[in-house]
Chains A and B, each alone.
Chain A
Amino acid sequence: MSKDYYNSDDLKKFPNVTEFQEELGEKFFKYYGAVFEEGALTKREKSLIALAVAHTVQCPYCIDAYSSESLETGASEEQMMEAVHVATAIRGGASLVHGVQMMNKVKDLSM
């Protein structure tokens, strides 16, 4: 058994998840492939969104994959880092906006 929870080589084994549940796995990959096709959004825009989400869900495999994908689709370093900042702002903002709930509760409890 691997001593590490994360191994970069495991990313290549991602398609093998169908081994334990073929039908759902295949459905997922079909959907996944369709999501990343060029559509109303370009592949570059989708890669940048994926890169931002990868940071939010803290998935090292996804960060590796979508850093490469963003470079290949022609994103600049500035665009990639701005995408990460968008994720950070939403993530931080998501905590902070609950501060209103805290304030409401404090006000409810206070004289």
Chain B
Amino acid sequence: MKSLKAEGHSLSDPRIQLDILNQHNERLKTTPKFEEKISEIGLYPLQPNEIEIFQINVGYMCNMTCKHCHVDAGPDRQEIMTKETLKQCLAALDDPRIKTVDLTGGAPEMNPHFRWFVEEVRRKGKKVIVRSNLTILTTNKFGDLPDFFAKHKVEVTCSLPFYSKRRTDQQRGEGTYDKSVSALKILNDLGYGTDPELQLNLVNNPVGAFLPGSQETLEEQFKKELHRSHGIHFNNLFTITNLPISRFLNFLLMSGNLEDYMDKLVQAFNPAAASGVMCRNTISVSWDGYLYDCDFNQMLEIKTHEKAGQHVSEFDLDKLNQRDIKTDQHCYGCTAGAGSSCGGATT
């Protein structure tokens, strides 16, 4: 499967995506604006609490092309963060208020400077999270990474949409489940999931146009089923709502689910979830060093507020902590139900 970008698909243009969400037809035109919704609860303009998580998208290259991918990542994507930009990120990380570095992609492991960068960040005493698709850890080239992760106490947060093969393979491609199970067993053998210093988290994205259920209940089910079937242990399950952008937006349009899905998100708007959205404590850096309020805004090319600085080379945490966060209709995805963030439910 090719990325939307490689296909030359119209949805690879973020302006078209935003246009669809705002005015594709009468139903979407009349969907309440997200800004109005957060105004009603006194949260507009949305502002940070205090940034402490520095999320870096080190490149859109991936060994997989999952159907729901909001990054539109894949083997055909060439965007990758250079060592120079990574050094600019390291300079920004000198600020002690930033506690955590969250590495994402694509498959972040495919960045040629990945190991060097993790070592440098750990040297600064920051916590490192890597968002792994698991399957990459079963390839020859990256097979030694689990040992590297364990050595540097990297927190591994990995995708596994469901505890069954059928639904996992449906979203992420044939053979994904078996490879993921192998990778989880390798991580378990190193102590991940049982050693308190080696945190292993799973991420559940619904396989379709529905919202994730209760994170607590799903975690219980995942733990029971994965242990029963494969003897696998893990620490936490994070439920993440699929945001209506990029490849998932394409699925919604092609399957005729877009309007109902947007209705579902709006109806499930939760003020408590809105006040806990991740953009309030996280900043997102793109492969080319630009700053965004979150990874989703990054994919929609909605940069941080002009006054706060828009590139990591001019990183100023005080300015960023005082900025107005930019929002649009896709933000309903993070405020529905129990809320959604890179760390799972927010309520």
Contact, CB under 8 Å: B214 / A78: no
Contact, CB under 8 Å: B206 / A76: no
Query: What sequence of 0s and 1s flags, for each residue 39-51 of chain A, a beta carbon within 8 Å of any chain B beta carbon?
Result: 0001110000000
Query: What sequence of 0s and 1s flags, for each residue 70-106 of chain A, a beta carbon within 8 Å of any chain B beta carbon?
Result: 0111101110000000000000000000000000000
CA distance A76 to B224 in the complex (A): 14
Q: Does A56 contact B (CB under 8 A)?
A: no
Task: Give chain B nearest CB distance to A75 CB in angstroms.
Answer: 9
Task: Give chain A nearest CB distance to B86 CB in angstroms.
Answer: 38
Contact, CB under 8 Å: B162 / A76: yes
Q: Does B142 contact A (CB under 8 A)?
A: no
- Residue in contact with A43 in the complex, picked from B164, B167, B214, B263, CB distance below 8 Å: B214
Q: Does B148 contact A (CB under 8 A)?
A: no
Interface positions, chain B 147-184, Cβ under 8 Å from A, are: 162-164, 166-167
Contact, CB under 8 Å: A73 / B213: yes
> Which chain B positions have C-beta within 8 A of A78?
164
Contact, CB under 8 Å: B208 / A71: yes
Contact, CB under 8 Å: A72 / B212: yes
> Which chain B positions have C-beta within 8 A of A12?
263
Q: Does B218 contact A (CB under 8 A)?
A: yes
CA distance A12 to B214 in the complex (A): 23
Contact, CB under 8 Å: B217 / A44: yes
Count of chain A residues with a beta carbon within 8 Å of a chain B beta carbon = 12
Contact, CB under 8 Å: B211 / A72: yes
- Residue in contact with B218 in the complex, picked from A68, A74, A77, CB distance below 8 Å: A74
> Which chain A positions have C-beta within 8 A of B263?
12
**Residue in A71, A73, A76 with the greatest tally of chain B CB atoms within 10 Å:** A71
> Which chain A positions have C-beta within 8 A of B162?
76
Task: Give chain B nearest CB distance to A40 CB in angstroms.
Answer: 15
* Chain B residue at minimal CB-CB distance from A42: B217
> Which chain B positions have C-beta within 8 A of A43?
213-214, 217
Contact, CB under 8 Å: A77 / B208: no
Q: Does B221 contact A (CB under 8 A)?
A: yes
CA distance A68 to B212 in the complex (A): 10
Contact, CB under 8 Å: A77 / B167: yes
Task: Give chain B nearest CB distance to A86 CB in angstroms.
Answer: 19
**A72 and B210 contact, Cβ closer than 8 Å, known pairs A77-B167, A78-B164:** yes
Cβ-closest 3 pairs across A and B? A73-B213, A72-B213, A74-B218
Known: A44-B221, A71-B206. 10 other contacts (CB 8 A): A42-B217, A43-B214, A43-B217, A44-B213, A68-B210, A71-B208, A72-B212, A73-B214, A77-B166, A77-B167
B interface list, Cβ under 8 A from A: 162-164, 166-167, 206, 208, 210-214, 217-218, 221, 263
- Would you mind naming 22 contact pairs between A and B with Cβ atoms under 8 Å apart? A42-B217, A43-B213, A43-B214, A43-B217, A44-B213, A44-B217, A68-B210, A71-B208, A72-B206, A72-B210, A72-B211, A73-B213, A73-B214, A73-B217, A74-B213, A74-B217, A74-B221, A76-B164, A76-B167, A77-B164, A77-B166, A77-B167
A interface list, Cβ under 8 A from B: 12, 42-44, 68, 71-74, 76-78
